Amino acid sequence: MRLRFEERELELLRGSEQLRGARLAQNGRPDGLRTALTLAKAGNKLRRASAGALISLDENELDLLLEAVRLAVDEVPWATNPAAEADPARRDSVFAAFPELVEKGLWRGFAVTRDLQAVAERLRLALHPHS
């Protein structure tokens, strides 16, 4: 499939891919290696892309990116909640993937989550246009 993304969408997709990749690396299971490699391939395409350019992603890559964005939708609110359980490595991986949460403040968590949800919906519709 060939898709165009705006700069903000690319930022969110890149961050989501980075976060999911970090989680796959933490688990280190052999069965996750193929998933990690395919996700990294999609992430490489995103890093090379510029806003408005067509990006070719196969269905498996899109599915993995959707999974990555859904993970980010769950993790960003957790990481920006001061009352969340203490897990510095987990929180740091979210902040590394989405540096604006540190640069502009944790209050940005809501907006980032909302934007991630919109990207997730766009990917879902690209994968399943009739649903």
Longest dimension (CA), the chain: 42
pLDDT tens string 81-117: 988 888 999 999 999 999 999 999 888 999 999 999 9
Look at the block and give the residue holding tokens 């940005």: 108
Q: How far is CA 46 from the centre of its chain?
A: 11
pLDDT score, position 29: 76
pLDDT score, position 131: 73
Decide if 20 contacts 36 (C-beta within 8 A).
Answer: no
Decide if 55 contacts 14 (C-beta within 8 A).
Answer: no
pLDDT score, position 27: 77
The model's confidence at residue 80, banded by pLDDT at 50, 70 and 90, is very high
Look at the block and give the residue holding tokens 């957790």: 78
Counting the structural domains of the chain, the total is: 1
Average pLDDT of the residues in 113-123: 98
Q: How far is CA 14 from the centre of its chain?
A: 6
For residue 50, what are the domain limits? 2-127
Characterize 115-131 residue by residue with b for buried, 16 or more Cβ atoms within 10 angstroms of its Cβ, and e for exposed: bbeebbebbbebeeeee
Number of Cβ within a 10 Å radius of residue 63: 16
pLDDT score, position 40: 94
Residue 116 sits at the vertex; the CA angle it makes with 106 and 33, to the nearest 5 degrees, is: 105
pLDDT score, position 7: 97
Structure tokens at 74: 């769950």
pLDDT score, position 48: 96
Average pLDDT of the residues in 15-40: 88
The model's confidence at residue 3, banded by pLDDT at 50, 70 and 90, is very high
pLDDT tens string 28-55: 777 788 899 999 999 999 999 999 999 9
